[in-house]
Amino acid sequence: MPVIFWLVPVSSVLALGFAYYFFKQMMACDEGTDMMKKIAEHVRRGASAYLRQQYKIVILVFLAITVIFSILAYGLGVQNPWVPFAFITGGLFSGLAGFFGMKAATFASGRVANACRTSLDAGLRLAFRSGAVMGLVVVGLVLLDISGWFIILNYFIPETGDGYKLMTITAVMLTFGMGASTQALFARVGGGIYTKAADVGADLVGKIEAGIPEDDPRNPATIADNVGDNVGDVAGMGADLFESFAASILATALLGSAAFMNYGLEVQTSAVVAPMIIAAMGTLLSIAGVFMVRTKEGATQKQLLHSLGFGVNFSAVLIVLASFGILYFLGLPNYLGIWGAIVVGLLSGIGIGQSTEYFTASAYRPTQKIAMSSETGPATVIISGIGTGLISAAVPLGIIVVAITLAYSFATGFSFDVASLNYGLYGVGVAAVGMLSTLGITLATDAYGPIADNAGGNAEMSGLGPEVRKRTDALDALGNTTAATGKGFAIGSAALTALALLASYFEEVRIMFVKFLDRPNELINGVPAIEAQFIDFVHHYEIHLMNPIVIVGIFLGVMSVFLFSGMTMNAVGRAAQKMVSEVRRQFKSIPGIMEGKAEPDYARCVAISTKGAQKEMMFPSLIALFIPVLVGIVFGVAGIAGLLLGTISSGFALAIFMANAGGAWDNAKKYIEEGHCGGKGSEGHKAAVIGDTVGDPFKDTSGPSLNILIKLMVMASVVTVGVAVSYHIL
Amino acid sequence: MPVIFWLVPVSSVLALGFAYYFFKQMMACDEGTDMMKKIAEHVRRGASAYLRQQYKIVILVFLAITVIFSILAYGLGVQNPWVPFAFITGGLFSGLAGFFGMKAATFASGRVANACRTSLDAGLRLAFRSGAVMGLVVVGLVLLDISGWFIILNYFIPETGDGYKLMTITAVMLTFGMGASTQALFARVGGGIYTKAADVGADLVGKIEAGIPEDDPRNPATIADNVGDNVGDVAGMGADLFESFAASILATALLGSAAFMNYGLEVQTSAVVAPMIIAAMGTLLSIAGVFMVRTKEGATQKQLLHSLGFGVNFSAVLIVLASFGILYFLGLPNYLGIWGAIVVGLLSGIGIGQSTEYFTASAYRPTQKIAMSSETGPATVIISGIGTGLISAAVPLGIIVVAITLAYSFATGFSFDVASLNYGLYGVGVAAVGMLSTLGITLATDAYGPIADNAGGNAEMSGLGPEVRKRTDALDALGNTTAATGKGFAIGSAALTALALLASYFEEVRIMFVKFLDRPNELINGVPAIEAQFIDFVHHYEIHLMNPIVIVGIFLGVMSVFLFSGMTMNAVGRAAQKMVSEVRRQFKSIPGIMEGKAEPDYARCVAISTKGAQKEMMFPSLIALFIPVLVGIVFGVAGIAGLLLGTISSGFALAIFMANAGGAWDNAKKYIEEGHCGGKGSEGHKAAVIGDTVGDPFKDTSGPSLNILIKLMVMASVVTVGVAVSYHIL
């Protein structure tokens, strides 16, 4: 093993150590007045209650899935005793990351509100470093698990001398991603339904019917709403990116071991560890970047954004330089091309973030036009939001198209021959790793958002002065921008990761096929062996576009995406309606509640959101897990191949559409509240609030859940590859 | 040529003859009072003005496109002098069909209103037979053009003896479809924008702001709204199905000539003419079906639906029997399997129609739930409508998946070998023809809808008694149901047709490839020639799913669909806002308008819709035409293959989502107006009206335009096949 591999466990320990350090630092801060403490405690208790309930169910489901998928994978395909364990640690570590991240966030928000009583800089730094706890725990745990498994498997799995050892190791490790995906799906879908049921319910009765402001303590759903920010945006987002980070590294490792199989053990090992080391280096640079984020009192929104951006860009620029060094040191053939793919990945992440900002920030035309359309009522707000959202999906799709083409071309030296296919796919994987390499700090800017939001809520509910509220508002507004770009980044990385996983899927099928064929490495009918093998492979499984089964698969993939999104949308609708009834009931039946004399029953609203989320998340999640298995059984590899491409392409587009439409509606509303187009309280404002409410499940439930769907469906196919290969009907 | 081929021109002449007969019959009816005549004249003039303006622009665009695509097709690929002429007749005939259909509809609506003064049966029969004018003109002109071209080309193109003559004929004829597609796109997009700009504008100011009822003569946009029904729902729908009908027959003919190339001229000819003869027979049965439609006074909605259904089912049942006879008589090998494919096509058309009805009719749970969600305001109406719409897309996708699988399997005798691929694709094409065979009558039930709607408008505006209004309302309500199922049918047939066209695309590429290879018909390296050829073909163009260019193509296809839908949505939003301003202006500046003393300036609203539609339709339409050309130039055949599958699959899903969500919102509103969930005038009703307004561009602009997009993009690829094959960059 190359010596710089040890950077991976080292950076993992450092990341976890700094996370602990930031956590301790945050805990040492004062939580403020008694009222502030009480409110923070409410939110904390609600969040813990949700997580306890969630994990209770998820553990059961997880065990069931482990057994079923172990049978499917183990009994029929990959004969390897390590698979179920890798699967379980994936779920466990992902759950831990969510748990720690959320703990930190719920401890932090009250303290951030309190810090804002001192200065804006204190508030920003505290909020951001508390967000960094989440970021660093996520990357730390991923790297810990990956390096741990790699060392263990490298020790136990016997050397074969033909390159198959590393193939086996990386194939086993990939199932770690499956565990993480499964856990992430429940976190995203459950958290998404929870947070939006609470939010929509609180807004519809509180803001619209009763006319009380957001985060008003008289609103019974307001605690549930604040809890929701934590379980949805912190724990859910964390689990999502945990999964992307892990899966992109693992898929690329597998692709590397396949591409460089015939280059000897040393080069092959380099190709396998390269993505891990780049991720490790990115993590170290992220830690450094976190320390760069600071601001001064009275900073404008632009300056605040600049401070965050400085930290992120600092890490990004340095990883570009560092990864060049790493690849050069590892001595991979065409290291320059592979480095190009990393840069492509990083740039396309930035590009997608920028396009998200353009389409959702009120500084630009699209969102302003939506705000203006409020003049003619809610219908035109919805129409223009949907129109803009649909168009906005085209840009990231275009960026990904360019990214795939360039990453592939760089890695193969612009050859589209079959013989260079594997290098190209490795390039696409490496691009995904590049995009995610500085996840430690980008995730910190993401998790910062809900912390600032909750700090604002705390300040409002505990009646702190307008000076404090103004500071938390500045932090919160910033959080909305970082959340939007964060969402763009999450979905962009999900698409690239899913494509890398898809390539791994083909790789696993091909290995089974080549083993079965046992072709010698020479000319076959005048065609070089690798090319002949490949032609045979495509022909054997008929994974070409004239095969009706492939076409059927693509249709089924699109179908899964639409079904899943529709179900999650309806789930929010149902859960929100229960919340609405409960809030109305409390307003009616608790005397003195509207005068602020009696405390509403917060816990009951928390319980309704929790129960609703648990109940509603099951069915869509099972779809994601079992459709690939069923399609594999009925239609075989060709059906799966179509299914996955249909899912990834349409899921990606729908996810961006939903996230951007939702973000734009949110900011159009805020733009009006700033005094444009009639301002707060006008008919136009009411119309914009309706748009914002429609956008809630778009941007926080269905949209982000699709990120996981597209990855999990590929993962489920990878794990059950043996079924599709050997036991299909058609 | 088999003697029963002559059924095709004969049925064509009969269809056109009966269309003329129904038209004359209708024109002989009395148009009612002077007021009724005046209003009908207004609508007629508006519709003609639009169509004149539309055709003026379309002719110019058409000429430009003919030149460009002729250069692309003729100069670089297919060297055949007939191509531009086939292209032009396609556009011309499609335009004629729209023109006659709309003429008939605008002459009919006043007369239908007048007939309703006598009896319900008289109204239904007149409306339906006027709709049949459109249905029969469409199928008549398609069959006329197809049989004409077939006879001409068969005479002029020399016999080659190896089956290539029929391949060439069918390939040339396919460009007829391209002309029809292009014309259909402008008709659908332009008409869709027109009708919804008028409708949304009229509703927003009239219904919501001024509180006057629908179709109130005081509303300046009301004539434009009624004109819109004609240009969007009659001319647009007609052009759409004209294109599906033509393309499904032509693609299947091409697939038949390829599949049965080695069976001798007689069998090959039979395979080519089979889809034409089935369509001809379906047309004759449609004429018979039209005469079956009648009802008695005081008929319930259910009985009315039953009368229409009887006519449609009569034709459908008989075509099942007749097509068996035709195939048997033509002596095609495996005629039983091909007949099975026809039945599959017919059944899946019915299935998609039923699923549309389930998801959009107020008699069923989904729409009722949307209505109930109005209790918590417009946001939940929109959320549940979108949720339900997304889920509803899954069912037709599932039906198409089953249809493809079964049609393919029946036609190949359940073989998924490469050697039987061509028979299977022929089976898929035949299924599309089966679904569309009775188009004459199904289109009549479609065109009937806007006629009844306009009759209601005429009755309202000319102040006829409540008895008459009740009758026109009964006809109109029925029209809404037939329109919804009609839309489901249009999109279902578009998907199957697009898949048949895609297969033709591959066929054309394969022919160029095989010609270029000139393989002898024997074993090649131990593999039978056809299989070896096929493997070479897939390999040569790399149309397999591991090729990143295919993946990139799929992403670009999804991108095109989202971009196109977003642009058409926004186009309606922009055009509607202009209409809103104009209506507001007239309400303010014309004294006595609200008291009914002064006449509003209808013509100005008509002009605004016309201009808006012309301006807004250009850019999305050019996207549809030129994206395939660009992708072909950059990425070649593999990119095109991916592009088309991405477009068809995601376009199909998005089209159903939009059509069903829109239909469900519309009917949820009507359900409330019938007295449920608070009834007319309640807050819930207002919320439902907002849902309905959002649904307007969904179901009448973007949704149906996608039908054309998915067909036109394949068509454009087929015509420019030579570019992608010979001149691509990557």
Task: Answer yes or no: do A397 and B552 touch at CB < 8 A.
Answer: no
Chain B interface, mutation test: which of A559, A654, A700, A717, most B Cβ atoms within 10 Å? A559
Chain A residue numbers with beta carbons less than 8 Å from the beta carbon of B398 are 559
SS (H, E, C) B181-232: HHHHHHHHHHHHHHHHHHHHHHHHHHHHHHCCCCCCCCCCCHHHHHHHHHHH
Among A568-582, B396-410, B623-637, the range of highest mean pLDDT = B396-410
CA nearest to A690 within chain B: B379
Chain B interface, mutation test: which of A375, A416, A535, A558, most B Cβ atoms within 10 Å? A558
Chain A residue numbers with beta carbons less than 8 Å from the beta carbon of B394 are 559, 562-563, 566
**Contacts with A439 (C-beta within 8 Å, 6 or more apart), sequence order:** A135, A138, A139, A241, A245, A279, A282, A283, A286
pLDDT of residue B416: 85
Distance CA(B1)–CA(A729), nearest Å, equals 42
Task: Answer yes or no: do A690 and B535 touch at CB < 8 A.
Answer: no
pLDDT of residue A515: 64
Chain B, window 8-37: residues with a beta carbon less than 8 angstroms from a chain A beta carbon: none
Burial A38-66 (b: 16+ CB within 10 A, else e): ebbebbbbbbbebbebbbebbeebbeebb
Chain A residue numbers with beta carbons less than 8 Å from the beta carbon of B524 are none
CA nearest to A532 within chain B: B539
Query: Comparing C-alpha atoms, which of A489, A443, A434 is closest to residue A321?
Result: A434
Categorize the per-residue pLDDT at A527 as very low, low, confident or very high, splitting at 50, 70 and 90: low
Chain B, window 183-212: residues with a beta carbon less than 8 angstroms from a chain A beta carbon: 200, 204, 208
Which of these ranges, A419-428, B325-334, B413-422, has the smallest mean pLDDT?
A: B413-422
Which of these ranges, A353-367, B90-104, B483-497, has the smallest mean pLDDT?
A: B483-497
Per the CB < 8 A criterion, the answer to whether A110 and A40 are in contact is: yes
| A465 three-state secondary structure | coil
The yes-or-no verdict on residue A63 having pLDDT over 60 is yes
pLDDT of residue A701: 93
Chain A residue numbers with beta carbons less than 8 Å from the beta carbon of B396 are none
Q: Choose among B379, B388, B568: nearest Cβ to A690.
A: B379
Which whole-number Å values give the CA distances from A428 to A340, A499, A504, B343, in the listed order? 11, 8, 11, 45
The yes-or-no verdict on residue A344 having pLDDT over 90 is yes
Stated pTM of the model = 0.94
| The two three-digit tokens of residue B289, written as one number | 């079906």
Categorize the per-residue pLDDT at A524 as very low, low, confident or very high, splitting at 50, 70 and 90: low
DSSP-derived secondary structure for A551-608: HHHHHHHHHHHHHHHHHHHHHHHHHHHHHHHHHHHHHHHSTTTTTTSS---HHHHHHH
Chain B interface, mutation test: which of A507, A562, A580, A630, most B Cβ atoms within 10 Å? A562
Share of chain B above pLDDT 90, in %: 51
What is the distance in angstroms between the Cα of A83 and the nearest Cα belonging to chain B? 26
| The two three-digit tokens of residue B579, written as one number | 């209409």
In the beta sheet, which residues pair with residue B544? A544
Q: Choose among B401, B506, B566: nearest Cβ to A546.
A: B506
Alpha helices in A71-82 (DSSP H): 76
Query: Could you tell me if B730 lies within 8 Å of chain A, comparing CB atoms?
Result: yes
Chain A residue numbers with beta carbons less than 8 Å from the beta carbon of B391 are 562-563, 566-567, 570
User: What's the farthest any 2 CA atoms get from each other in chain B?
Assistant: 89
Query: Could you tell me if A566 lies within 8 Å of chain B, comparing CB atoms?
Result: yes
Q: Choose among A544, A556, A573: nearest Cβ to B383.
A: A573
Phi and psi at residue B527, to the nearest 5°: -105, 140
Chain A interface, mutation test: which of B368, B376, B502, most A Cβ atoms within 10 Å? B376
Distance CA(A433)–CA(A417), nearest Å, equals 24
Distance CA(A101)–CA(A130), nearest Å, equals 9
Per the CB < 8 A criterion, the answer to whether A286 and A315 are in contact is: yes
Distance CA(B339)–CA(B599), nearest Å, equals 59
Chain A interface, mutation test: which of B200, B369, B386, most A Cβ atoms within 10 Å? B386
**Contacts with A673 (C-beta within 8 Å, 6 or more apart), sequence order:** A679, A680, A685
Mean pLDDT of B604-628: 88
The yes-or-no verdict on residue A505 having pLDDT over 90 is yes
SS (H, E, C) B47-75: HHHHHHHHHHHHHHHHHHHHHHHHHHHHH
Categorize the per-residue pLDDT at B246 as very low, low, confident or very high, splitting at 50, 70 and 90: very high
Residue bearing the bigger pLDDT, B304 or A584: A584
Chain B, window 360-399: residues with a beta carbon less than 8 angstroms from a chain A beta carbon: 373, 376-380, 382-384, 386-394, 397-398
What is the phi-psi region of residue A544: left when phi exceeds 0, alpha when psi lies from -120 to 50, beta otherwise? beta
| The two three-digit tokens of residue A414, written as one number | 């612009």
CA nearest to B581 within chain A: A376
In the beta sheet, which residues pair with residue B527? B524
Task: Answer yes or no: do B539 and A535 touch at CB < 8 A.
Answer: yes
pLDDT of residue A562: 97
Chain A interface, mutation test: which of B423, B531, B558, B580, most A Cβ atoms within 10 Å? B558
Chain B residue numbers with beta carbons less than 8 Å from the beta carbon of A377 are 204, 208, 690
Which of these ranges, B270-279, B527-536, B602-611, has the smallest mean pLDDT?
A: B527-536
pLDDT of residue B201: 86
In the beta sheet, which residues pair with residue B524? B527
Q: pLDDT tens-digit profile of B181-222? A: 889 998 889 999 999 988 888 888 887 778 888 788 888 898
Per the CB < 8 A criterion, the answer to whether A32 and A117 are in contact is: yes
Chain B residue numbers with beta carbons less than 8 Å from the beta carbon of A418 are 539, 542
Task: Answer yes or no: do B397 and A562 touch at CB < 8 A.
Answer: yes
- Using only the alpha carbons of chain A, give its radius of gyration: 25
Task: Answer yes or no: do A576 and B376 touch at CB < 8 A.
Answer: yes
Chain A, window 695-714: residues with a beta carbon less than 8 angstroms from a chain B beta carbon: 697
Per the CB < 8 A criterion, the answer to whether A204 and A310 are in contact is: no
Distance CA(A540)–CA(A553), nearest Å, equals 17
Complex confidence, ipTM = 0.94
Distance CA(A532)–CA(B245), nearest Å, equals 43
The yes-or-no verdict on residue A321 having pLDDT over 90 is yes
Positive or negative torsion for Cα B52, B56, B57, B61: positive
Chain A residue numbers with beta carbons less than 8 Å from the beta carbon of B200 are 379-380, 383
DSSP-derived secondary structure for A153-222: HHHHSPP-SSSHHHHHHHHHHHHHHHHHHHHHHHHHHHHHHHHHHHHHHHIIIIIIII-PPTT-TT-TTH
Q: Choose among A379, A545, A552: nearest Cβ to B690.
A: A379
Per the CB < 8 A criterion, the answer to whether A321 and A365 are in contact is: no
Distance CA(A496)–CA(A403), nearest Å, equals 9
Task: Answer yes or no: do A379 and B567 touch at CB < 8 A.
Answer: no
Task: Answer yes or no: do A566 and B730 touch at CB < 8 A.
Answer: no
Task: Answer yes or no: do A405 and B730 touch at CB < 8 A.
Answer: yes
Phi and psi at residue B437, to the nearest 5°: -55, -40
Distance CA(A458)–CA(A480), nearest Å, equals 17
Chain B, window 546-565: residues with a beta carbon less than 8 angstroms from a chain A beta carbon: 546-552, 554-559, 561-563, 565
pLDDT of residue B515: 64
User: What's the farthest any 2 CA atoms get from each other in chain A?
Assistant: 89
| The two three-digit tokens of residue A574, written as one number | 């149902």
| A524 three-state secondary structure | strand
Task: Answer yes or no: do B383 and A559 touch at CB < 8 A.
Answer: no
Distance CA(B567)–CA(B192), nearest Å, equals 12
| B163 three-state secondary structure | coil
Distance CA(A246)–CA(A434), nearest Å, equals 13
What is the distance in angstroms between the Cα of B464 and the nearest Cα belonging to chain A? 32
Chain B residue numbers with beta carbons less than 8 Å from the beta carbon of A539 are 418, 535, 538
Per the CB < 8 A criterion, the answer to whether A416 and B730 are in contact is: yes
Task: Answer yes or no: do B394 and A425 touch at CB < 8 A.
Answer: no
Categorize the per-residue pLDDT at A362 as very low, low, confident or very high, splitting at 50, 70 and 90: confident
pLDDT of residue B73: 66
pLDDT of residue B154: 92
CA nearest to B424 within chain A: A548
Chain A, window 635-664: residues with a beta carbon less than 8 angstroms from a chain B beta carbon: 641-642, 645-646, 649-650, 652-653, 657
The secondary structure of residue B350, as a DSSP letter, is H
Name the CA dihedral angle for B224, B230, B232, B235, rounded to a multiple of 10 degrees: -140
Query: Comparing C-alpha atoms, which of A119, A128, A121 is closest to residue A289?
Result: A128
Task: Answer yes or no: do A542 and B416 touch at CB < 8 A.
Answer: yes
Per the CB < 8 A criterion, the answer to whether B308 and B128 are in contact is: yes
Mean pLDDT of A249-270: 92
| The two three-digit tokens of residue A18, written as one number | 């700094």
The yes-or-no verdict on residue A53 having pLDDT over 90 is no
Task: Answer yes or no: do B387 and A208 touch at CB < 8 A.
Answer: no
Average model confidence (pLDDT) across chain B? 89
Task: Give CA A315 to chain center in angstroms.
Answer: 20
Residue bearing the bigger pLDDT, B87 or B522: B87
Positive or negative torsion for Cα A582, A583, A587, A592: positive
pLDDT of residue A73: 66
Task: Answer yes or no: do A383 and B697 touch at CB < 8 A.
Answer: yes
Q: pLDDT tens-digit profile of B346-374? A: 999 999 988 998 999 888 999 999 999 99
Distance CA(A621)–CA(A626), nearest Å, equals 9
Chain B residue numbers with beta carbons less than 8 Å from the beta carbon of A641 are 545
pLDDT of residue A209: 79
Chain A residue numbers with beta carbons less than 8 Å from the beta carbon of B392 are 566
Share of chain A above pLDDT 70, in %: 96
Mean pLDDT of A632-641: 94
pLDDT of residue B390: 97
| The two three-digit tokens of residue A156, written as one number | 């136990």
What is the distance in angstroms between the Cα of B68 and the nearest Cα belonging to chain A? 26
pLDDT of residue A432: 95
